[in-house]
Amino acid sequence: DTGVSQDPRHKITKRGQNVTFRCDPISEHNRLYWYRQTLGQGPEFLTYFQNEAQLEKSRLLSDRFSAERPKGSFSTLEIQRTEQGDSAMYLCASSAGLAGASYEQYFGPGTRLTVT
Amino acid sequence: DQQVKQNSPSLSVQEGRISILNCDYTNSMFDYFLWYKKYPAEGPTFLISISSIKDKNEDGRFTVFLNKSAKHLSLHIVPSQPGDSAVYFCAASGAGNNRKLIWGLGTSLAVNP
């Protein structure tokens, strides 16, 4: 059973450095989501892909953030010039998203980012 | 403005008894609701969902009830087990094509042996 995987699980970086996270969704899922969660909060939506097309970006996603899903399979989320406020758990989820299907999203284990 | 509200930050229940977790929402455009369970340092795990056209959905020990007129849903776990101890999140999905989830702040459930 291959669920959603994320790499790395933990990342510690110094302020100003760039970081990149990877997400591998469930293979037959065509929808992929990125969320961010900070302590004591629920996850907040960042961006969404249907296949390789990035269809929505949250206002939370500043110009320093970029996400790609080049072949409609895995996705990467890059943060440039990291700031301490970027410290959070970054969650990836995938969904089948077929017409008439249910819309449950299945999550990976997350990448914990700490910016020092 | 919190569109999905879980007003109880924590709940403590005895093993074998019923756990009831509550969730309120403000946006009448939400048409699908989901409950997730989360352990520390892990991603959320999907538990159960309900469409807005239904008022109840049951899966084993988990039942979700939806009261659209009150904009309220609840998750019932019976019987509660110590392994159910975790943070439970209520999430809602709108009618838009992206189906992004809007989340509550979570309720920490402790099931005591």
Query: 3-state DSSP: chain B helix, strand, coil percent, rounded to 5?
Result: 5, 55, 45
Report the candidate in B36, B13, B23, B22 with the shortest Cα–Cα distance to residue B109.
Answer: B13
The closest CB to that of A45, out of B97, B100, B105, belongs to B100
A108 to chain B: closest CA residue: B43
Q: Are the C-beta atoms of residues A115 and A83 closer than 8 Å to each other?
A: yes
Pairing of strands A19-24, B4-5: unpaired
What pLDDT does residue B1 have?
A: 74
Distance CA B47, CA B62 (A): 8
Q: Do A104 and B89 touch (CB under 8 A)?
A: no
Q: Does A110 contact B43 at a Cβ distance shorter than 8 Å?
A: yes
- Indicate which of A103, A111, A112, A114 best probes the interface with B, i.e. most B CBs within 10 Å of its own CB: A103
> Which pLDDT score, from 0 to 100, does residue B40 have?
87
Rounded to whole angstroms, how far apart are CA atoms B18 and B86? Answer: 15
The helix or strand, by DSSP H or E, that contains position A24, with its residue range, turns out to be strand A19-24
What is residue B30's predicted lDDT score, i.e. its pLDDT? 92
Per-10-residue mean pLDDT, chain B, length 113: 92 98 95 94 94 96 97 98 97 83 96 95
Q: Which residues are within 8 A (CB) of B52 and not within 5 positions of it... i.e. 6 or more apart?
A: B30, B31, B32, B33, B66, B68
| pLDDT (0 to 100) of residue B98 | 77
Q: Which residues of B touch A105 (CB under 8 A)?
A: 34, 46, 99, 101
